[in-house]
Amino acid sequence: AQSVTQPDIHITVSEGASLELRCNYSYGATPYLFWYVQSPGQGLQLLLKYFSGDTLVQGIKGFEAEFKRSQSSFNLRKPSVHWSDAAEYFCAVGVNTNAGKSTFGDGTTLTVKP
C-alpha cells in the first residue's frame, strides 16, 4: 500500500521569502503525485499534479514541485511567499485504477510573517 510523509508539521516564513515543503512517498509502482491546499474551514484545492514526463511541474498561484524518483520525493516550492499563501498543504499519492483513490500526508501548516 502507498504512504505519504510530510516531515514538517508547521513552517513559518517571512513574506517575500522562498518556501519549500517536503513530501516523501512510498509506492511500489509509478506514482501519481499531487499537492493540495486547504484554507481554514474549507475543502481542498488542487495546486499541481505529476503523472509523467517533465519532473518539474508548474501549478497555480506560482507554485512548482519537483519529482525525484531516487529520493522518493515531491517537494513543493515557491520563490516568494505572499501572506495569502498561509494555509495547510497536503501531499498525496494516487493509485492508477478506475477508483483513483488517493492517500494523503498529515499536512504542513504554513504561517507567513509580515
Partner 1 sequence: SQTIHQWPATLVQPVGSPLSLECTVEGTSNPNLYWYRQAAGRGLQLLFYSVGIGQISSEVPQNLSASRPQDRQFILSSKKLLLSDSGFYLCAWSRDRPTSGANVLTFGAGSRLTVL
Residues that bind partner 1 (CB under 8 A): 4, 6, 32, 34, 36, 41-46, 49, 51-52, 90, 94-107
Cβ distance to partner 1 smaller for residue 91 or 112: 91
Cβ distance to partner 1 smaller for residue 40 or 114: 40
Q: How far is the CB of 89 from partner 1 (least distance, A)?
A: 11
The three-class DSSP label of residue 19 is strand
Instruction: Write out the three cell numbers for 9.
Output: 508539521
Task: Please tell me the total number of residues recorded for the chain in this structure.
Answer: 114
Cβ distance to partner 1 smaller for residue 87 or 94: 94
The Cβ of residue 88 has, within 10 Å, a number of other Cβ atoms equal to 17
Q: How far is the CB of 16 from partner 1 (least distance, A)?
A: 28
Classify residue 21 as exposed, middle or buried by CB count within 10 Å of its CB (0-12, 13-18, 19+): buried
The Cβ of residue 82 has, within 10 Å, a number of other Cβ atoms equal to 12
Q: How far is the CB of 80 from partner 1 (least distance, A)?
A: 27
Q: How far is the CB of 105 from partner 1 (least distance, A)?
A: 5
H or E element: which one contains 89?
A: strand 87-94
Cβ distance to partner 1 smaller for residue 73 or 103: 103
